[in-house]
């Protein structure tokens, strides 16, 4: 592409971005204007994709981590021939459009991940590169041979999650990962020097990255830097592209005024005039610019891959990995059995399930934030390392909970692998932004949380989660499991793997719980419906005892005490409230009759349980922080005993 045509391409992106933001009277024009040169070079000279099949497996992945600059991506997608008509750009940020304020995966063709919260896209890209390397070393470059590119901002690099992810990427030597840093030195409040003065490239070099610095408005320099980065396959690469935010604006270029607000009708016209464009034309797309963006031969590259795939002996296995856990597969897993009458922590039951899956599901990959022994994620599998990914299944994420979740999101988005990760439930707070993005993107990432309550004991309130269950349950699209025993844990694992949309969280105990005698109590299969009658009375019950996790056994003991007092109690195990609410109304009322008083028992905050107990019910929970003491002492002090549950239930029946 000659320099004149390149400039017309760049100016077209600037014009579309200014016009869309102005039409919406909302948005961020400065970043697209500043990075138009870099993006044009990447998309017309390097990126491998085919708009006719946006989900083609061996395409390059492009992440706009600086999601506020979404009009840059929408302009590129439209110009490159994706199914994003010009009218969608005119409808930027409007109800029902495919051009929301920040890019959303599964919503706009060609968008690989949902970005906006800064740092998330940076970490997602690391996950994508991780998945690409795993699959390339497993299936060979004939089936898997692509790159991950991202545009990242000053704001991305300020966020802690970005450095967590960068640290792990450098440690693992993740090549085929090229980040283009929009080094414009401007944030909303003003210059980055207000709060940011470190040498970013030196920091990333120390983390094991290959680094370069270029003029982001020099197309040939940018192209040469990308070429050099592609020549380094043993390290991730970042290219600091020195740019001017709002480039081309006569009044506002280089200022924070272009960051998050329209330029104004007069300034848009003045900018177009300064760029040699028609100041009166809006959403102008010259034919030669369209031709330049659509000159890439992605269709040929995809056809060549399809041909290789058709003849490759490993193609069927790759397709199976891409399909993930099927019903047939889940039905054939040799799930562990557990000895009735023994005690087993649900984290240990989960470990047994994970070990059973490790050999049967090589596409299941994951690990822990430096707590593998405690979380039950030691499976004996080979660990991923700088020296090789092939045949590995265990990831040592290090103490990087936030990046761990965000990287798993990237692995899931890439396809071909099913990621899980683990930490203590109390440390969910460190990764909550990533879990929220899992839920928003409806990604089937598995989150394993152990040490689930005050009953971990002497570690004290810093490690005793009390409000975390409520936080997890408040997330849309999220399936939260808190199994009562080992058998329910296996059901939770099976159902989580069967889930195709949205994350699952397994909430597991540190302490041993009775392995319930299923010849006496109901089958654990009832857990698959989210809630079920575990133990019932011969006639209509006087009271219903509802519980999750470790408190179910307490309710069973309370039921026996109530029987001695002449009262019949039904015990309902409710391991997954979201799943139970998805059942039909008849089933819900069969399990929880409206005319029977209810006592809910859970070692967590009481907020939220009132919908289950109603005005005439009672809740036994903990609305304060825990304490440092043995678990049995805490149970007594906070009222999580069979005697207290029985007395509370009796007070409802015999006021």
Catalytic residues: 401
Residue 603: closest CA among 573, 576, 625, 630: 625
Listed as own residue / partner, the contacts of 631-635 with beta carbons closer than 8 Å and 24 or more positions apart are 631/454, 631/455, 631/456, 631/457, 631/511, 634/454, 634/455, 634/457, 635/455, 635/554
Residues 6+ apart with CB under 8 A from 167: 207, 398, 400, 403
Give the tokens for residue 375: 């979380």
CB 645 within 8 A of CB 555: yes
* Distances 165 to 130, 245, 312, 369 between C-alpha atoms, Å: 11, 26, 34, 13
Residue 171: closest CA among 254, 242, 263, 235: 235
Residue 184: closest CA among 216, 218, 209: 216
d(CA 547, CA 535): 12
Residue 276, classified by CB atoms within 10 Å of its CB into exposed (0-12), middle (13-18) or buried (19+), is exposed
- Stretch (H or E) spanning 35: helix 30-45
CB 27 within 8 A of CB 262: yes
Pairing of the two strands 504-507 and 186-187: unpaired
3-state secondary structure of 349: helix
**One-character DSSP codes across 169-214:** HHHHT--SEEEEEEE--EETTEEGGGT--S-HHHHHHHTT-EEEEE
Residue 516: closest CA among 490, 479, 478: 490
Distance separating the N- and C-terminal Cα atoms of the chain: 85
Give the tokens for residue 420: 């899980």
d(CA 490, CA 527): 10
**C-alpha 41: how far from chain center:** 30
- The interaxial angle of helices 401-414 and 428-441, nearest 10 deg, is 20
């Amino acid at each position: 592409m000659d320099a004149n045509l390149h400039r017309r391409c760049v100016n077209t992106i600037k014009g579309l971005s200014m016009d869309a933001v102005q039409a919406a009277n909302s948005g961020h024009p400065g970043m697209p204007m500043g990075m138009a040169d870099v993006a044009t070079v990447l998309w017309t000279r390097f990126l491998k994709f085919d708009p006719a099949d946006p989900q083609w497996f061996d395409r390059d992945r492009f992440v706009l981590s600086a999601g506020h600059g979404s009009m840059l991506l929408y302009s590129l997608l439209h110009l490159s021939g994706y199914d994003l008509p010009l009218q969608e750009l005119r409808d930027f940020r409007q109800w029902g459009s495919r051009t929301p304020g920040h890019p959303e995966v599964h919503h706009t063709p060609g968008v690989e991940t949902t970005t906006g919260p800064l740092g998330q896209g940076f970490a997602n890209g690391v996950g994508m590169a991780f998945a690409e390397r795993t699959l390339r070393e497993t299936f060979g470059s004939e089936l898997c041979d692509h790159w991950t590119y991202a545009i990242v901002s000053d704001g991305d690099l300020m966020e802690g999650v970005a450095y967590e992810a960068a640290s792990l990427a450098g440690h693992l030597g993740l090549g085929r990962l090229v980040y283009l840093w929009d080094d414009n030195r401007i944030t909303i409040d003003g210059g980055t020097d207000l709060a940011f003065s470190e040498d970013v490239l030196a920091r990333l070099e120390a983390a094991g990255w290959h680094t370069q610095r270029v003029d982001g408005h020099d197309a040939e320099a940018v192209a040469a830097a990308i070429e050099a980065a592609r020549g380094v396959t043993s390290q991730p690469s970042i290219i600091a592209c020195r740019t001017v935010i709002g480039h081309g604006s006569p009044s506002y270029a280089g200022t924070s005024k272009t960051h998050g607000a329209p330029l104004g009708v007069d300034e848009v016209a003045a900018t177009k005039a300064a760029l040699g464009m028609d100041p009166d034309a809006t959403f102008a797309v010259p034919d030669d610019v369209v031709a330049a963006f659509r000159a890439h031969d992605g269709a040929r590259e995809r056809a060549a891959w399809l041909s290789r795939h058709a003849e490759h002996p490993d193609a069927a296995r790759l397709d199976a990995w891409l399909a993930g856990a099927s019903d047939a597969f889940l039905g054939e897993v040799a799930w562990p059995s557990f000895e009735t009458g023994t005690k087993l922590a649900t984290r240990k039951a989960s470990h047994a399930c994970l070990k059973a899956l490790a050999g049967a599901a090589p596409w299941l990959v994951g690990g822990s934030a430096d707590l593998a022994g405690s979380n039950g994620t030691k499976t004996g599998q080979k660990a991923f390392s700088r020296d090789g990914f092939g045949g590995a299944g265990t990831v040592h994420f290090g103490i990087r909970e936030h990046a761990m979740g965000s990287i798993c999101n990237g692995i899931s988005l890439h396809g071909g692998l099913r990621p899980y990760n683990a930490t203590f439930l109390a440390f969910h707070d460190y990764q909550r932004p990533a879990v929220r993005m899992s839920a928003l993107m409806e990604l089937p990432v598995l989150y394993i949380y152990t040490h689930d309550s005050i009953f971990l004991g002497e570690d004290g309130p810093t490690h005793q989660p009390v409000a975390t269950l409520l936080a997890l349950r408040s997330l849309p699209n999220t399936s939260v499991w808190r199994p009562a025993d080992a058998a329910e844990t296996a059901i939770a694992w099976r159902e989580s793997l069967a889930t195709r949309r949205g994350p699952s969280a397994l909430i597991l105990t540190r302490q041993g719980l009775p392995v319930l005698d299923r010849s006496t109590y109901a089958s654990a299969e009832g857990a698959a419906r989210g809630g079920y009658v575990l133990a019932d009375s011969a006639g209509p019950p006087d009271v219903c005892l509802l519980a999750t996790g470790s408190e179910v056994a307490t309710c069973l003991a309370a039921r026996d005490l109530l029987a001695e007092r002449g009262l019949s109690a039904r015990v309902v195990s409710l391991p997954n409230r979201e799943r139970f609410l998805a059942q039909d109304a008849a089933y819900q009322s069969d399990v929880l009759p409206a005319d029977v008083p209810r006592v809910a028992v859970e070692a967590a905050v009481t907020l939220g349980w009132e919908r289950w107990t109603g005005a005439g019910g009672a809740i036994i929970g903990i609305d304060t922080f825990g304490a440092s003491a043995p678990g049995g002492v805490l149970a007594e002090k906070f009222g999580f005993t069979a005697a207290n549950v029985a007395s509370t239930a009796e007070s409802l029946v015999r006021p």
